[in-house]
Structure 1
């Protein structure tokens, strides 16, 4: 296992997930770029979004992913998040049919109840990927998909940058960040009984440079990774 502390070049004070996202909830929408995750989801070939009758949005946050799924034709979306303040934002957005405050390893959602399980920008906060992959498998119907998208481990290492936000007092604050190599995702997914159906990596391109000119030094570096898993049961 790779320790993020070996790469941390910012040395921001670091807080736990619930504390961090409670503090970030008000400004989250203004600081997270769709190019990081939603644009990557949009380029996936295997998922037929409009064929999903019900989806589980794990780590739903403010409802960005849920709204994107509904916009792609997913009929119904249930969301789970650990942070009440983020759930309040998602509730106001109105994209989810049901919102639950719970740990992603034990959501309380019905087993085998979803055609699609999605997790976006979550895995870097988990010390162990196994519980997420196992819970997603429990939730998915036979033949259902689990789609996970997040920061590429290479980018976290190259940039030395944790997930972070600017706190109310103006101080940069990091949220607990872990590095999971691609092989860790493959191992966790296979151990949970998933079959890999697609993987896509996105790099820092012209779109990213336009959004973040300071990232010119990272041009062509992998920045996001997406995995599509199928439940063979």
Structure 2
């Protein structure tokens, strides 16, 4: 296990998740690039999105992922997030059937209710991954898929960069960040009863460099990863 403080090269002031995303909400969708997460969802081959009956969007934020799922034919989506300000934006989109303010590790939603579970760019905020994987397993119907998109640990280690945003006053603010190695994700998923059926990694490539020219020095470093898990039984 790697302590983020040991690799932090930015030394931005750091706030908790609810505080950080509550402040970031106004510019969040203008600063998070689709190539980070939605492009990886597009690249997956195991999920048949239009065949899903009911999905849960864990850490749904402003509803970016929920909107993407709706566009792929998912008919019913619930969402859970800690931050009221982010949920307000998601609610305005109207893509979720139900939105719940809560912790993705203990949602309070009914067990066995979903044949698709999705979480995107949330696990770096958790000190321990196992509670998330266990809660996802509790919510999953037999044979359900759990798709998780992560901020790649190799990129965090290479750059010392936390999840961060620029405040209204122009200050860089970090949101509580934890480094989880790929092996930690796989170990937690297996321990919670999931079977890994697909994995993809997104590298810094021409598309990234076009968006962020200063990232040329990080070319070919993986920046995000997508895991597809199937519920056993």
Shared fold (TM-score, shorter chain, > 0.5)? yes
**Whole-Å separation in 2 of the counterparts to 1:211 and 1:222:** 16
Q: Does 1:113 align with 2:113?
A: yes
Rounded to whole Å, the distance in 2 between the matches of 1:213 and 1:14 is 26
Alignment-derived partner of residue 156 in structure 1: 156
For 2:110 and 2:65, the matched residues in 1 are separated by 20
Q: Distance in 1 between matches of 2:53 and 2:99?
A: 17
Task: Give 3-state SS (helix, strand or coil) of 1:150's partner.
Answer: strand
Structure 1: gaps of 5 or more residues: none
What is the CA distance between 1:6 and its match in structure 2?
1.2
Tell me which residue corresponds to 1:20.
Answer: 20
Aligned-pair CA distance for 1:161: 0.5
What does the per-residue CA deviation read over 1:129-173, in whole Å, with 9 as the maximum and x for residues that have no partner? Answer: 011000000111100000000111000110111000011221110
After TM superposition, list the pairs within 5 Å mapping 1:82-231 onto structure 2: 82-231=82-231
Q: What's 1:43 paired with?
A: 43
Q: Deviations over 1:62-103 (max 9, x none)?
A: 000000000001011100000000000000111100000000
Which residue number corresponds to residue 33 of structure 1? 33
The TM-score, its normalising length taken from structure 2, stands at 0.99
Secondary structure in 2 aligned to 1:215?
helix
Aligned residues between the structures: 233
- Alpha-carbon shift at residue 61 of structure 1 (Å): 0.2
Q: Which residue of 2 aligns with 1:54?
A: 54
Give CA deviations for 1:113-138 in whole Å, capped at 9, x if unaligned: 00100000001000000110000001
TM-score scaled by length of structure 1: 0.99
Structure 1: which 4+ aligned runs deviate by more than 6 Å? Answer: none
Q: Is the 8 Å Cα contact of residues 79 and 100 (structure 1) preserved in structure 2?
A: yes
User: Aligned with 1:37: secondary structure?
Assistant: helix
